Chains A and B, each alone.
Chain A
Amino acid sequence: MYTQSMDTDPETRNPVAKVSAVGRPEEQRFQATVDAEGKIEPRDWMPEAYRKTLLRQISQHAHSEIIGMFPEGNWISRAPSLKRKAILIAKVQDEAGHGLYLYSAAETLGQSRDEMMAALHSGRAKYSSIFNYPTLTWADVGMIGWLVDGAAIMNQIPLCRCSYGPYARAMIRVCKEESFHQRQGFDIMLSLSKGTADQKAMAQESLDRWWWPVLAMFGPPDADSVHSGQSAQWKIKRVSNDELRQKFIDATVPQAELLGLRIPDEKLKWNTQTGHYDFGPIDWDDFWRVVNGEGPCNKERLAARVKAYEEGQWVRDAAMAYAVKRKARQHKEAA
């Protein structure tokens, strides 16, 4: 997982003003490289706004991977079988790995890991709002894999061709692993849908809660999406929020039918003319409420993250002190 296509930084919310006049020679060379599908590497010249946009997007993405471990991690000790438990541990470990790939990519843009951590822990940095919803049942773990990771894949595949080399390479690695995540989620849903009446009801109840927040993950409609223009010019964002959302719905509806689950949208209907599903309006007020900190679990997630970090501080300090001491001893012996 899991970027969320939105721009919450007021500084760059005015894309028209930010679209550069492309005047200076280095700027022209930069844009020519991007236009020709070339890659920008860390020490190449890049516009300051490009660097800032990427830094914000990649670090938000990394934070989302890290916070994303919490809703699933809660279920490791409650997984219904040893097999499911082993799978879930591997999945959560992958999410940690994805966070690390992405922090590593973000650091190439000149911000330290500590600064990024501080931004997350103070609440200044955002992460995907989907993790501010609770995982109340085991079906929710399936739902995160099937729908949340499924939505993430839609979003992340075009990012593999992003103009910034380290981000594109990290995304290739992430996408390879993400497919396992979605399938294990679907597998959980499949088991529940073939199960008892209670298990089926649990699956349906879970879908009823997750469907709309997952659609919102793709970000505001294109008409209101403020930074898409510039990001498209820079080839950071290559497919629009609405296109990705439509693609996700078209792919997911038949899967829900196969599971025998009803998608909670009265207006959902196949449109023979467009060749896509029509769907009902998304509650953007709810989305922004959650983004701005009023979701069901915002405080809990951040508090859990800060607690884990603070409680691990002595371990990090001790490991560093040990390494310094050993190095000093080696120097002494060598002398």
Chain B
Amino acid sequence: MSEDEKQGGTGGRRPLVQEWPLWEVFIRSKQGLDHKHCGSLHATDAKQAIQMARDVYTRRNEGVSIWVVPSNAITASDPGEREAFVDPMADKIFRHPTFYELPDEVKHM
């Protein structure tokens, strides 16, 4: 016990040393499906993050596999440049199968 605590002072209460790092959680709900982002949590390391993700995000069979990724390791595209960057390619309609007309004789393709 520090001197300050012995004296009953509250001034000795340290500011929080360090918030536990933030992790993003991805869950595969069943075999055959992709892992899907479901939220985040704080944990000291990857192993603990996996255990906590199990307790927080899969209490009712929501998942068969869990990924955790440090949030600061994710690089994301800029939402402000969404329109320019993720171009819908509306001018390239030939990329879609409906662009091509088939003779009636071809029933399925």
Q: Which residues from chain A sit less than 8 Å from chain B, CB to CB?
A: 41, 43-45, 90, 93-94, 97, 100-101, 104-105, 107, 112-114, 166, 169-170, 173, 176-177, 316-317, 319-320, 322-323, 326-327
Please name 27 pairs of A and B residues whose Cβ atoms are closer than 8 Å in the assembled complex, sorted by A: A44-B79, A45-B80, A90-B59, A94-B59, A97-B55, A97-B59, A100-B41, A101-B39, A101-B56, A104-B41, A113-B42, A114-B16, A166-B39, A169-B38, A169-B39, A170-B39, A173-B38, A316-B20, A317-B17, A319-B44, A319-B48, A320-B17, A320-B20, A320-B44, A323-B45, A323-B48, A327-B45
Is B31 in the interface zone, CB < 8 Å from A?
no
Give chain A residues whose Cβ lies under 8 Å from the Cβ of B7. Answer: none
CB distance from A111 to the nearest CB of B (A): 12
CB distance from B13 to the nearest CB of A (A): 8
Give chain A residues whose Cβ lies under 8 Å from the Cβ of B79. Answer: 41, 43-45
Give chain B residues whose Cβ lies under 8 Å from the Cβ of A170. Answer: 39
Q: How far is the CA of A316 from the CA of B20 in the complex (A)?
A: 8
Is B102 in the interface zone, CB < 8 Å from A?
no
> Are B76 and A107 in contact, CB atoms less than 8 angstroms apart?
no
CB distance from B3 to the nearest CB of A (A): 18
Give chain A residues whose Cβ lies under 8 Å from the Cβ of B76. Answer: 43
Q: How far is the CA of A319 from the CA of B55 in the complex (A)?
A: 18
Q: Which residues from chain B sit less than 8 Å from chain A, CB to CB?
A: 16-20, 22, 38-42, 44-45, 48, 55-56, 59-60, 76, 78-80
> Are A323 and B59 in contact, CB atoms less than 8 angstroms apart?
no
Give chain B residues whose Cβ lies under 8 Å from the Cβ of A41. Answer: 79
Which of B17, B20, B39, B76 has the most chain A CB within a 10 Å cutoff? B39
CB < 8 Å neighbour of A323 from B38, B39, B44, B60:
B44
New A-B contacts (10) at CB < 8 Å, excluding given A173-B38, A320-B17, A320-B44: A44-B79, A90-B59, A104-B41, A107-B22, A113-B42, A169-B39, A177-B59, A177-B60, A317-B17, A319-B48
Closest to A176 in B: B60
What are the nearest 5 A-B pairs in CB distance? A323-B44, A323-B45, A104-B40, A319-B44, A104-B39
Closest to A166 in B: B39
Give chain A residues whose Cβ lies under 8 Å from the Cβ of B78. Answer: 43
> Are B44 and A322 in contact, CB atoms less than 8 angstroms apart?
yes
CB < 8 Å neighbour of B45 from A97, A113, A177, A326:
A326
CB < 8 Å neighbour of A97 from B22, B40, B42, B56:
B56
Q: How far is the CA of A97 from the CA of B39 in the complex (A)?
A: 12
CB distance from A249 to the nearest CB of B (A): 31
CB distance from A180 to the nearest CB of B (A): 9
Closest to A102 in B: B39
> Are B18 and A320 in contact, CB atoms less than 8 angstroms apart?
yes
CB distance from B42 to the nearest CB of A (A): 6
Q: How far is the CA of A176 from the CA of B59 in the complex (A)?
A: 12
Q: How far is the CA of A213 from the CA of B30 in the complex (A)?
A: 43
CB distance from B104 to the nearest CB of A (A): 39
Give chain A residues whose Cβ lies under 8 Å from the Cβ of B42. Answer: 113
Q: How far is the CA of A112 from the CA of B20 in the complex (A)?
A: 11
CB < 8 Å neighbour of A107 from B17, B18, B40, B56:
B40
CB distance from A45 to the nearest CB of B (A): 7
Closest to A99 in B: B56
Closest to A42 in B: B79
> Are B18 and A93 in contact, CB atoms less than 8 angstroms apart?
no
Give chain A residues whose Cβ lies under 8 Å from the Cβ of B39. Answer: 101, 104-105, 166, 169-170
Closest to B37 in A: A169
Closest to A97 in B: B56
Q: How far is the CA of A234 from the CA of B40 in the complex (A)?
A: 25
Q: How far is the CA of A173 from the CA of B48 in the complex (A)?
A: 22
